[in-house]
Amino acid sequence: MMTELINNAEQNLLHTYNRYPIVWERGQGVHLYDLTGKRYLDFVSGIGVFALGYHYASFDDALKTQIDKITHTSNYYYNTPAIEAAAALTSLSGMERVFFTNSGAEAVEGAIKAARKYAYEKDGTTDHEIIAMEHSFHGRTMGALSVTGNPNYREAFEPMIGHIKFARFNDIESVRDLITDKTCAILLETVQGEGGIYPAEEQFLKALRRLCDERDILLILDEIQCGMGRTGTMFAWQRFGVRPDIMTIAKALGGGVPVGAFLMTEQTAACSLKAGDHGSTYGGNPLATAAINKVLELFEADRILDHVNRVTPYLEAGLDRLVKHDYVIARRGFGLLQGLVCKGPVGDIILAALEKGLVLINAGANVIRLIPPLIIEEHHIDEMVEILEQCLTAKES
């Protein structure tokens, strides 16, 4: 049955992913089940989406309740879930304005437009520059791809949107060297995910904030993967006290429902996007924002951040034990966004782990990325370490 479905998919789906030969049937807690009933421990969580795991208590009920009311209205009208979600997000972030999108890439697109409109409002010109980071990843749409710091992703789709420069991550002098009078924004992930799990250094972020304040440049932080509690604070920048002018979020925001957002300060909002400058048919619809509201409610009620901070040292200790293997160079990351840096490709290790019932993903060719649901417990970590131990030992034998 599974082979037949996979063959059917290969005949009909556009081949933009090299998928693993598994068809998922259902999820429960921190586990996934394929069509044969085999259970897998999930340390990918839909690439950081299922922060609360699968079928978390009362989350499904909240969605069903909203479906029985209304799932969509256009943005020419207000709806209660969107109003409540916007208020909750501004309160949690200390930012003042929200625009809801359908994905992380769309949030990045909106952030780019907001930055360019902010600069246009100042001088009426359209040749402003954005500085992004090497090895970054911000999405696959044309704008998001234009600020993604990996030439291999961009080259087949050139020309990108113009006036983008790339600095070295965690190198403030590299940023300074690129700044001109036309620089309108500096964009980076607070923790680089796809590029290899590289956290921004506190000194670097604070220097960027000072630089932006001095030059009236907008600081844009991409928290699509590292936000929503994954690093132990609701947003990763909060551990450093460096508030951006614009922030993008998505993935775990809707607990599995596709939704994203970009947020900005009041000062930025007052001088950037106005009525008619930006829009989205589905953005902020009642079903998606009801999901946001329930996710945020459960984060608070069940003290999810406290749980992340409690289990993080245990996860780090377990991963550090794996660094003893000759094939593993180092561990890096924050909270429940961790990477094991290896001497070579990790694809065969990930496949071997999958066969043993552990779902992992890479970050670049040589990093095993671990982004489990935020509700994992110590015994799940023990199981993951044991399976990875077996796979690494087999790799080295």
Q: List for the chain the helix, strand, coil content (%; round to 5).
A: 40, 20, 40
232, 239 in Cβ contact below 8 A? yes
Round to whole Å and give the CA distance between 80 and 41.
37
Residue 213 confidence (pLDDT): 98
Round to whole Å and give the CA distance between 247 and 269.
12
Please give the mean pLDDT across all residues of the chain: 97
List the Cα angle 97/100/105 in 5-degree steps.
115
Does the structure show a pLDDT above 90 at 1? no
Buried b (16+ CB within 10 A) or exposed e, 120-136: beeeeeeebbbbbbebb
What are 69-105's pLDDT values in tens digits? Answer: 999 999 999 999 999 999 999 999 999 999 999 999 9
Q: What is the mean pLDDT of residues 18-45?
A: 97
Residue 2 confidence (pLDDT): 87
Residue 192 confidence (pLDDT): 97
Report long-range pairs for 313-316 (Cβ below 8 Å, ≥24 apart).
Answer: 314/378, 314/381, 315/370, 315/376, 315/381
SS3 assignment, position 144: helix
What are 249-306's pLDDT values in tens digits? Answer: 999 999 999 999 999 999 999 999 999 999 999 999 999 999 999 999 999 999 999 9
Residue 293 confidence (pLDDT): 98
Closest among 95, 368, 127 to 249, alpha carbons compared: 95
What are 307-339's pLDDT values in tens digits? Answer: 999 999 999 999 999 999 999 999 999 999 999
**Domains of the chain by range and CATH?**
2-56+303-396 (3.90.1150.10), 70-301 (3.40.640.10)
Q: What is the mean pLDDT of residues 205-225?
A: 98
Task: Tell me the two tokens of residue 126.
Answer: 């359209």
Half-sphere exposure of 25 toward its Cβ, with a 13 Å CA cutoff? 10
Q: What is the DSSP string of 311-330?
A: HHHHHHHHHHHHTTSTTEEE
397 band by pLDDT with thresholds 50, 70 and 90:
confident
Task: Tell me the two tokens of residue 65.
Answer: 């309740």
Q: C-alpha 73: how far from its chain's center?
A: 27
SS3 assignment, position 199: strand
Round to whole Å and give the CA distance between 382 and 376.
11
DSSP conformational letter for 257: S
137 band by pLDDT with thresholds 50, 70 and 90:
very high
Q: What is the mean pLDDT of residues 7-24?
A: 95
226, 191 in Cβ contact below 8 A? yes
In this structure, the chain runs to a length of 397
CA dihedral 60, 63, 64, 66 (to 10 degrees): 160
